[in-house]
Amino acid sequence: MEKVAESVARPPAAAPEAPQSPLTPPSITPAPEAPSSKAPTPKTLSPQTPAPQTPSSQAPAPKAPSASPALETPRYLGTRRRRPAVSAAVRVLVPLLLLAAWWYGTDSGAVPPDVLAGPGAVAGAFGELVATGQLGEYLLASARRAGLGVLVGGGLGLLLGVVAGLSALGEELIDPTMQMKRAVPFLALVPLFISWFGVEETFKVVLIAVAAVGPMYAYSYLGVRGVDRKTVEAARGFGLRGARLAAEVIIPTALPNILMALRICLSVSLTGLIAAEQIGATEGIGYLVTLAQQYYRSDYMVLCILIYAVLGLVIDLLIRGVERLAMPWRGQVAAR
């Protein structure tokens, strides 16, 4: 009985371990466990949760951050800015030198007064026009004619440029005629327009419009041609067609060229304005030039030239201001 009790109380001997293959690591083929009377201990980790691994054995060591060059804002031609005081001094340098040479030449007697009036005489003529109120009246009359001419000619040139740029058929129909028109000086059309419209306001407005339509067409056509085709295809994918596509995608994309065309149109309109107001006009800056020529007043002639120069500068500054407001992201192109 004692031997039987000892054999029952004695735990069974563990089974011999299976021989391990030299190619199989021990962690993959564990030896079978001996049967035990105790209940299996529940695992603390769920089967879906992988066992924690030490960073030293599995994860690679973090790499040191490589030194990369800092990102720089792209610089375009002419984007370097000077200090405002230096820039203002450079801008007025050449006009001041010309004014000094003019003053010295007329004051020293090197240039006779009947050939070129001095700055003092021109300032006196300016004061006379301001005192009589004629300067304001003449400026308003010239501005009205130039504005109407640029509105008609610029609008027509913009429409033709967009149509020719968008459509191959439109280009074939419009572009040859516009290229022939550009080769004809608009001043050569003055006798023909006088025979058609007389010398009244219609003649003047039409002449300025003909002068303005060419530059607006050329720059608008180039601007529309320069629009990315992918942009147009994407807009068409959103359902934009026809006039809506042109108004919301084509014209805003071609806006730099259109503003450049507007600047040139306004400058050319001054040339057409001079020619128009010297024929059958009773008011305007061109009419004032004609009167000064008839009475041999070189002071008024020089004053009218300076008025045209100041008008051109004001127009250029206004268009540049519109460009900065409409396209603040666009860098300046003029080298400085």
- Which pLDDT tens digit goes with each residue over 316-326? 888 888 888 87
Rounded Cα gap, residues 320 and 314, in angstroms: 10
Closest CA to 272 of 327, 210, 222: 210
Predicted model pTM = 0.68
Rounded Cα gap, residues 299 and 116, in angstroms: 7
What value does the mean pLDDT take over residues 292-312?
90
Confidence of residue 249 (pLDDT cuts 50, 70, 90): confident
Q: Is 198 helix (H, G, I), strand (E, B) or coil?
A: coil
What's the confidence (pLDDT) of residue 300? 92
Poorest-confidence range of 41-50, 116-125, 154-163, 291-300? 41-50
For residue 84, give both structure tokens: 């405002």
Confidence of residue 142 (pLDDT cuts 50, 70, 90): very high
Rounded Cα gap, residues 203 and 258, in angstroms: 26
Q: What is the mean pLDDT of the chain?
A: 77
What's the confidence (pLDDT) of residue 195? 92
Confidence of residue 75 (pLDDT cuts 50, 70, 90): low
What's the confidence (pLDDT) of residue 330? 62
Q: Is 29 helix (H, G, I), strand (E, B) or coil?
A: coil
Rounded Cα gap, residues 20 and 22, in angstroms: 6
> What is the enclosing helix (H) or strand (E) of 164?
helix 134-166
Confidence of residue 160 (pLDDT cuts 50, 70, 90): very high
Helix ranges (H only) for the chain are 2-9, 84-91, 93-107, 119-132, 134-166, 168-182, 190-197, 201-225, 229-237, 242-245, 251-253, 255-277, 285-294, 298-326
Rounded Cα gap, residues 247 and 224, in angstroms: 12
Residue pair 284/273 in contact (Cβ under 8 Å)? The answer is: yes
Question: Which CATH number describes the domain made up of 133-326?
Answer: 1.10.3720.10
30-72 pLDDT per residue, tens: 445 544 444 445 444 444 545 455 544 455 555 555 544 454 5
Closest CA to 285 of 268, 295, 271: 271
Rounded Cα gap, residues 34 and 188, in angstroms: 117
59 φ, ψ (degrees, to nearest 5) = -70, 135
Rounded Cα gap, residues 143 and 69, in angstroms: 55
Poorest-confidence range of 31-40, 81-90, 248-257? 31-40
Q: Is 189 exposed, middle or buried (0-12, 13-18, 19+ CB in 10 A)?
A: middle
